[in-house]
């Protein structure tokens, strides 16, 4: 079960396994040293704060741990279910997304991935440097076009012409999507809804 307590406990165990504190693990992953502090795990109003999928991906890359290993730290007794996710290449991003939030087509490739019980997901393998510096050639994004989108979510949008854009969602209305940059210094963008073929929430990144 992916509970708030178990996710944070798994991060602590991963740090301990590598002889690090939670702050040391954050620094090794290139994150702010306070990212995993206990004071950051619950908001002042009592709401639970969860680590982002980007942060989890970075600490796994920094320690060489696999997602399977991390899931085992979350729940050592669990039988780790697998899922076969539809896989498309970023150059095929203009493929139509059906009502179920998945790429259409019976001939689509698939990728084996741990089943985290999330919304129905598919995978995008990045080709070329169109999404640098955030995502590089060969990275795989696990996304959900059916997941509800909230302010601050990392999203990938497929625009008219098939190009992909990665950003943080600032606001979305029936007329347009306001997208905030991932990295400081980049401009914000307002994309008319008519120019967006589909938009998906980034659930996981495999570098």
65 DSSP 8-state letter: -
pLDDT at 81 over 80: no
pLDDT value of residue 119: 67
* Cα three-residue angle 93-139-91, rounded to 5 degrees: 20
Confidence bin at 66 (pLDDT 50/70/90) = confident
Cα–Cα distance measured from residue 97 to residue 180, given in angstroms and rounded to the nearest whole number = 24
pLDDT value of residue 118: 53
Which pTM value belongs to this model?
0.68
Mean of the per-residue pLDDT values of the chain? 86
Cα–Cα distance measured from residue 184 to residue 168, given in angstroms and rounded to the nearest whole number = 12
Cα–Cα distance measured from residue 205 to residue 60, given in angstroms and rounded to the nearest whole number = 10
């Amino acid at each position: 079960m992916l509970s708030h307590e178990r996710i944070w406990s798994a991060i602590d165990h991963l740090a301990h396994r590598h002889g690090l504190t939670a702050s040391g693990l954050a620094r090794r992953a290139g994150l702010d040293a306070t990212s995993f502090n206990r004071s950051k795990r619950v908001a002042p109003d009592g709401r639970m704060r969860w680590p982002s999928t980007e942060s989890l991906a970075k600490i796994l890359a920094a320690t060489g741990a696999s997602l399977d290993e991390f899931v085992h730290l979350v729940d050592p007794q669990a039988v780790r279910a697998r899922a076969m996710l539809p896989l498309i290449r970023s150059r095929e991003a203009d493929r139509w997304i059906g009502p179920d939030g998945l790429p259409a087509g019976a001939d689509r490739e698939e990728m084996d991935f741990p089943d985290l019980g999330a919304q129905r997901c598919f995978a995008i393998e990045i080709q070329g440097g169109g999404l640098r510096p955030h995502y590089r050639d060969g990275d795989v994004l696990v996304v959900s076009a059916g997941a509800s989108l909230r302010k601050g979510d990392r999203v990938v949008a497929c625009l008219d012409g098939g190009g992909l854009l990665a950003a943080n969602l600032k606001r979305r209305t029936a007329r347009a999507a306001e997208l905030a940059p991932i990295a400081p210094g980049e401009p914000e963008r307002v994309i008319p809804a008519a120019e967006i073929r589909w938009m998906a929430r980034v659930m996981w990144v495999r570098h």
